[in-house]
Amino acid sequence: MKSLLQRFFHSQQSGLVLVIIGIVIILTLFAGSHTDRVTGKKVNNFLNWYTLVQTATDASFFAIMAIGVTLIIISGGIDLSVGSIYALCGVVMALVLRRMGPMGFFPTLFFGLCISLGIGLVCGLLNGIMVVGLRVHPFIITLGMMWILRGIAFVASKAESILLPDSLTHFTKATFGLSQSLYPMPMLLMILTTILGELYLSKTVMGRNIFAVGGNLDASRYCGLRLNRILVSVYVLSGLMAGVASFMGSGFYGSASCSDATGYELYVIASAVVGGASLSGGRGSVVGAMLGAILIVLIRQSIRTLHLDQNYEWIIIGCAIIVAVVLDRLNAKAARKRLLSTK
């Protein structure tokens, strides 16, 4: 037990977990309560199954995309186009499924998932090829792609909201025998992608190569790593994650439009950075990205639950990003000092 606690407090995510626990305690104490209409019992306004699952659902779409963006940040890049990829995947999926007409439950799911993932893969591949081939900073490439992809979604959808088949909504809102108002599917998908992402980063050669490239590009080149392939691959994976999030999010809300995921770039990058990803590359965690997304959503939830002015949401999240980056720099400086002192 003692060794487990020591491992927890020495882990990169321990601080995030403690902050999340602290916010949950504060919200539980100050959120107030209401009387349940069915049971007649007093129910805490925050600490109840509906609010907790809804919070996890809101975090899941950010977290899934943050996993892909974390891979890019670890490699030393950045991706501002994930929100636009999300919107384009949803719009194209909705348009194609509408054109194909009514199908069975499983064919609808299969084609919808293939379309969304395919569009996400192509967008990520384009990002990666341009970053590597044009040798322009990823910030500029993905900023341009953010507008291009959002524009394509706008033209393709004619600025209309396109309904998706009921099969997708029934799948993404599966209750698994829980209350009719509880939909755990997005949360389960978030957990699954986090596990797979963490295994990919920590247990595979390709994952370790991403850390190597972000940590020292020149050393990676001299070691014979295929830098172009690695750099393109992280953008492809980020596009795929945006496609997964779009499939789940569009299906969950039952429609897709060109305005979907507007501003998600802030939340996704904030989740990755707050989760411990270093903007200078070489360090980051998929689990940290998920926890960062949960923390960001909890901040938003705190503003609503405590009836604070929602205009402060952007200010608080912006401050969280700055604090996270400053702490990252301080930690890096402290690590260098420790390394020098041991020599």
At 142 the pLDDT is: 96
Token output for 156: 């393709």
- Nearest CA to 56 among 90, 31, 18, 24? 24
- The runs of H, that is alpha helices, within the chain are 2-10, 14-30, 49-74, 82-100, 105-134, 138-157, 166-172, 185-203, 205-215, 217-222, 227-253, 264-274, 286-305, 312-342
Q: Which of 313 and 329 is assigned the larger pLDDT? A: 313
Distance CA 213, CA 211 (A): 6
Least confident of 101-110, 145-154, 334-343: 334-343
Over residues 122-143, the mean pLDDT reads: 95
User: What is the model's pLDDT at position 275?
Assistant: 86
For residue range 170-180, what is the model confidence (pLDDT) as tens digits?
A: 999 988 777 76
Q: State residue 232's pLDDT score.
A: 95
- Mean pLDDT for 187-207 is 93
Write the pLDDT tens digit of every residue in 51-99: 888 889 999 999 999 999 999 999 999 999 999 999 999 999 999 999 9
- pLDDT tens-digit map of 238-272: 999 999 999 999 999 999 999 999 988 888 998 99
Instruction: Band the pLDDT of 130: cuts 50, 70, 90.
Output: very high
Domain boundaries, the chain: 59-262+278-285
Give the model's pLDDT for residue 49.
Answer: 83
pTM of the shown model: 0.90
